Structure 1
């Protein structure tokens, strides 16, 4: 696998993780995927996806997409902070408990897969 493929795969994993996080949150509040507007999941996920995109730019994630320490932490922090700022701008909830839960879940989702991939690469004798 080349770096371009790794970056595309990493971006897809990040986006999928954020959409899954958003879907789980909506389901836990009985909001449904579409919601009343028909854009429920998109409305919930978009602030976090935007934050993640900013994190990818800040981290230059395409250079080391699977690096949990550098790339993962920057993408996670940007996703959380950017997502919460945009939620506030859009008039969506930003309660402290939500920020804490979102921070923990997004850390597991966005840093976690990178840690696992690094561990697998090291076990196989590859450079993570």
Structure 2
């Protein structure tokens, strides 16, 4: 019967989980801030938060769906699900709350969020591979 037992998935250290979550939050806030600045919007702090909250909520859903805390720096197990969660969840929440969802914005958000949320994980993975050589 012991052969039927599976090993529990190893969870990353709390420090790594917190740093990855903080990086995701900061990068989504940066995405919102850059977008608002490009369009010369008023109320910089509140405006950034109003723009970012749907994407932050979507990223949180991605974290939960993927159990990203287990391997928060993994490109495929955390980065892609967090990116897709932030993008799809963010756009759905924006649409449900009568915020703008137009094709050019969806394209920019797709590319920018991928570069931010998957990009830093790719850089970390590349650095780890270089260190191991």
Considering the TM-score relative to the shorter chain, is it more than 0.5? yes
Q: CA deviation at 1:41?
A: 1.1
Is there any run of 5+ residues in structure 2 with no aligned partner, and where? 1-11
Structure 1 segments of 4 or more deviating over 3 A?
none
Instruction: Quote the residue 1:59 is aligned against.
Output: 66
* CA deviation map 1:41-93 (0-9, x unaligned): 11100000000000000110100000012211110001000000000111100
* CA deviation map 1:77-116 (0-9, x unaligned): 0100000000011110000110011000000000000000
Instruction: Quote the residue 1:92 is aligned against.
Output: 99
* 1:70 and 2:57 are equivalent in the alignment: no
Is there any run of 5+ residues in structure 1 with no aligned partner, and where? none
SS at match of 1:39: helix
For residue 109 of structure 1, the aligned residue among 116, 119, 123 is: 116
Please report the RMSD computed on the Cα atoms of aligned residues, expressed in angstroms.
1.5
- What does 1:1-128 correspond to in 2, within 5 Å? 3-32=13-42, 34=43, 39-125=46-132
TM-score between the two structures when normalised by the length of structure 2: 0.87
Q: How many residues align?
A: 122
Larger radius of gyration: 2
